[in-house]
Amino acid sequence: SALVLEEEKLRRCKETLEAHEREERDIAHKLEHVRRLAKTQESGLHDAEALRKQAQTDFEGETREWTIRVDAQKREHESAVARLEALHREAAGLEREASDRRLAYEAERLEFREELDGVKKAW
């Protein structure tokens, strides 16, 4: 009877040990699953960070490109304004010159008319 009790006790210990081993394997599987998920999340985080850095680099590049374009447009506009102002000054000078010539021609014509009238009277 003592032997039977010891065998029973041994059998229960063996079952308890097997249950603990099964539980340990389950925990090891869960731990491995959690490690894989963490690794996947970490990889995703690295990918997201790389994408963020690429987007920031692209944005900064486009910002520089547009700044360069805007500056070039500003310089082109300023140059066009300067050329337009020079053309206005040149046109004003030409108008003054034309007016002066018109006055000179008018005075010459008047003088010629007076001479012509003097010649007609003398005839």
What is the sign of the dihedral through the CA atoms of 89, 90, 95 and 100? positive
Instruction: Give the residue among 33, 36, 9 at the shortest CA–CA distance from 25.
Output: 33
Long-range contacts of 73-79 (CB under 8 A, 24+ apart): none
Question: Where is 76: in which H helix or E strand?
Answer: helix 2-122
Amino acid identity of 33?
A: H
Quick check: pTM over 0.75? Answer: no
Q: From first to last of the 123 residues of the chain, give the pLDDT tens digit.
A: 889 999 999 999 999 999 999 999 999 999 999 999 999 999 999 999 999 999 999 999 999 999 999 999 999 999 999 999 999 999 999 999 999 999 999 999 999 999 999 888 887
Which residue reads 């018109």 in tokens?
A: 102
Instruction: Give the residue among 40, 99, 15 at the shortest CA–CA distance from 91.
Output: 99
Q: What is the pLDDT of residue 13?
A: 96
Which residue reads 């000054």 in tokens?
A: 89
